[in-house]
Amino acid sequence: MHLQRLELRQFRNFSEQILSFPQRLTLILGQNGQGKTSIIEAVYLLAHAKSFRSNRIRELVSWAAIDDKSQNTVECLVDGKLQSESGEKTLRCSIAKGKRSISLNGNRLETASSFYGQLNCVVFTPDDLILVKGGPSGRRSFLDRILAMSDRGYVDSLVTYQRALKNRNKVISESNDLARQEKVIAPWNTILLEHGLVISEKRKILIEELGELAGEFHTALVEESDEKVNFAYQSHFLNDDAELYSKETMKARFSEALAKDLQARGTSVGTHRDELLIEIDTGAGFRAARLGASQGQARCIALSLKLAAIKVLLKRTGELPILLLDDVESELDASRRASFYALLNNFNTQIIMTATELSSELEEACPELHLVQISQGTVVSD
């Protein structure tokens, strides 16, 4: 999969800009606040229909467009032309009046399952420290993004599960009557357990694939030490032997938790509480990386997971995803930068990365690169 051309219109601090990506590696140079990360964000938007920087879609629209009172609607456009195994295609994400629209080759895509997988990408940013040090929701989202890009059936199950969870929680919040609520929420329990079993099984398989690869990549990044990392999956749908519970067992678990749920005004059992457990061993035994890993260790673990995601997506889809690296050099010391670039040379994936300057480690590892310089939302050299 190769992104050939990217057009931005009224996106962040870009008024109108067209970029090309003729080489396997494109390095976007510029000082902070000039728009480097916005280019990475635009590519990510075409893959996921949302930003990794903000949950508010309106924030993607340039201030100039918002302030232009002559416009009947506020519009923002990101358009990408890419080459994939299925041929050439054009993806477009437009925003008007705070609403987002996605199209493929001029045809609007109405469902998430028809959109995901059209452009696959893996992104690493300085904020990815939260993947290791943050709460479980960020790790669940990481797994969900990989599965969404490689399994359309998973997207349908996830959307259905989330809708049922929202409706169940709404019913629970309306009354404390246990007998009445048990009858009313029974249909939602059925949906949660049916699709929850699908979600848990697919997450479990994915973590097994990711864990082995990420462990190898982590060892390569920290080759000067004996540091080891383990990855495990925790879910209400799995027993102590990591086997899926039956539907009958899960139905009973939902019923048993109802009294607690009514008191808490929420659902306490389900895949929305799953955890990707990351443990690190530095010689004194394994400990949760969220609590015991240093900042540098956490960055290496996050990078290892992202590299593992590339391999998994290739295996599952037959195509290499695009790798997006935002200011990765500032997150690694010189020796780990050299190790990281050595690992990247084992991938044929397209890479789009940002930096404030061209480092000697990158220049040595990847002498053939496409250099783009950005200043104040404009390409000044290409």
Per-residue confidence in pLDDT tens, the chain, 382 aa:
899 999 999 898 888 899 999 888 999 998 888 888 999 999 999 998 888 888 888 888 877 665 555 555 658 899 999 998 888 999 999 888 878 889 999 899 887 778 888 899 999 988 888 999 999 999 999 999 999 999 988 999 999 999 999 999 998 888 777 777 788 888 999 999 999 999 999 999 999 999 999 998 988 888 666 778 999 999 999 988 888 889 999 999 998 998 898 888 899 999 999 999 999 886 777 888 888 888 888 888 999 999 999 999 999 999 999 999 998 887 777 777 888 888 887 788 999 999 888 888 888 888 788 999 998 878 877 6
Q: Which of 7, 31, 62 is nearest to 357 (CA)?
A: 31
Total Cβ atoms within 10 A of residue 348: 8
pTM assigned to the model: 0.89
Q: Which domains does the chain have, with CATH numbers?
A: 1-120+319-382 (3.40.50.300), 127-318 (1.20.1050.90)
Give the H/E segment covering residue 101. strand 99-104
Decide if 118 contacts 104 (C-beta within 8 A). Answer: yes
Q: Is 68 helix (H, G, I), strand (E, B) or coil?
A: coil
Helix axes 334-344, 178-221, angle to 10 degrees: 100
pLDDT at position 139: 94
Other C-beta atoms closer than 10 Å to the C-beta of 105 total: 11
Q: Which amino acid is at 99?
A: K
Q: Which amino acid is at 353?
A: M
